[in-house]
């Protein structure tokens, strides 16, 4: 049975997001908040290969490169894009309520490989 979602305030909708992403901490966990094509995405801020902050890396389009060994991840899915990384980044669902961006901090089931839905994109 899937656990119930735990939505936690992350930031305000109008908070700026740096080109390399924002480093945040939620319930003691390092989270990276990225903006890709006008949509917000949240991932773990720790590389799955070595202990490096993803927000210290290089962001190009929908990809972030780890600053330590240049392992590349797809931001919306967390999928690794080649060596040396082989394990995906944890991704977190986001939603907007009023002027607040919320993050779902529910622990995933071991078999879950969540892909973020871009439901948190600003509407024209």
Whether the per-residue pLDDT at 117 is higher than 70: the answer is no
Other residues' Cβ atoms within 10 Å of the Cβ of residue 10: 22
Categorize the per-residue pLDDT at 70 as very low, low, confident or very high, splitting at 50, 70 and 90.
confident
Contact 39, 120 (CB under 8 A): yes
* Selection from 22, 60, 41 nearest residue 118 by Cα: 41
Give the SS3 label for residue 44: strand
**Are the C-beta atoms of 68 and 93 separated by less than 8 Å?**
no
Position 2 confidence tier, pLDDT thresholds 50, 70, 90: low
Least confident of 17-31, 70-84, 104-118: 104-118
In this predicted structure, what is the pLDDT of residue 124?
Answer: 42
- Structure confidence at residue 51 as a pLDDT band (50, 70, 90): confident
What is the full DSSP assignment across 54-91?
Answer: GGGSEEETTEEE-TTT--EEETTT--B-BTTB-SPPPE
Average model confidence (pLDDT) across the chain: 87
Q: What is the pTM for the complete model shown?
A: 0.85
> pLDDT tens-digit profile of 18-34?
999 999 999 999 999 99
Give the pLDDT band of residue 116 (cuts 50, 70, 90): low
The domain over range 7-104 is classified in CATH as 2.102.10.10: yes
CB 64 within 8 A of CB 73: yes
């Amino acid at each position: 049975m899937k656990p119930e979602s735990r939505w936690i305030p992350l930031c305000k909708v109008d908070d700026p997001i740096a080109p390399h992403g924002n480093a945040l901490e939620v319930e003691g966990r390092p989270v990276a908040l990225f903006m890709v094509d006008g949509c917000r995405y949240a991932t773990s801020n720790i590389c799955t290969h070595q202990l490096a902050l993803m927000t210290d890396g290089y962001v190009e389009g929908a990809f972030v490169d780890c600053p330590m060994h240049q392992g590349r991840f797809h931001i919306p899915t967390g999928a690794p894009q080649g060596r040396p990384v082989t394990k995906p980044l944890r991704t977190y669902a986001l939603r907007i309520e009023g002027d607040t961006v919320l993050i779902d901090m529910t622990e995933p089931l071991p078999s879950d490989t969540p892909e973020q839905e871009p439901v948190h994109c600003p509407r024209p």
